[in-house]
Amino acid sequence: MSAKVITITREFGSGGRTIGMVLAHRLGYDFYDHNLVEKLAEESGFAQEFIETHGEDASSANSFIFRFNNSGCDTVDRLYIAQRKLIRELAEKGNCVIVGRCADYILRERTDTLNVFIWAKEEYKQNRVTSYYGETEEAIEKRLINKDKKRIAFYQYYTGRKWAQAYNYQLCLESSRLGIERCVDIIEEAARKFDETGKIEVTD
């Protein structure tokens, strides 16, 4: 039996999105990352731009200034709730890979879901981000920190979990040492032979 859903929680520049995409292709699964934004915009009525800005960024939601001064705060929470609803529906349909957006936490009760965390060393993430998105005026070190800081804040704010905790995933992989392809191989291997009943027993 295979895992019906694979969630990938990843650091910015770690290649987690690429890993998810190749994996989905190999397994013949749907892939949800950026296209989740479009789907969500269709179903929820949120503007695509708003989702892109706040869909994985809680820096506004957990800022006191924002929370109390800006009426958009409740909207960020409502966006999270809409995302959660959509992610649950997609998981119910099954056969998909979902990247980011606290999907691991949202689907934590499902036994058919394989949760994966991808991280990488700073140098690797810097190289990837520069080669994919090009140079900007902002220094690469700062870009990485800013992006990851927001993502981590979003994750911790809505899940109450700590970032990069092995206990939240069946698999954690360092893409900078294992390489993108090896990561895909490993997740595929685990996904194809995943006990979706969630049964726990002594196997040896």
Asked if 167 interacts with its own copies (CB under 8 A), we say yes
d(CA 61, CA 156): 11
Asked if 159 interacts with its own copies (CB under 8 A), we say no
Using the contact rule CB under 8 A, the part of the chain among 38-46, 74-82, 138-146, 175-183 near its own copies is 175-183
Q: Shortest gap between Cβ of 202 and its own copies (angstroms)?
A: 5
Nearer residue to its own copies within complex by CB, 52 or 188: 188
d(CA 1, CA 168): 22
Using the contact rule CB under 8 A, the part of the chain among 23-31, 93-101, 142-150, 186-194 near its own copies is 186-194
Radius of gyration of the chain (CA): 17
d(CA 145, CA 70): 25
d(CA 155, CA 9): 10
**Left, alpha or beta for 10 (phi > 0: left; psi -120 to 50: alpha)?**
beta
- The binding site for its own copies (CB under 8 A) comprises 15, 18, 117, 119, 121, 123-124, 127-128, 131, 164-167, 169-174, 176-182, 185-186, 189-190, 193-195, 198, 200-204
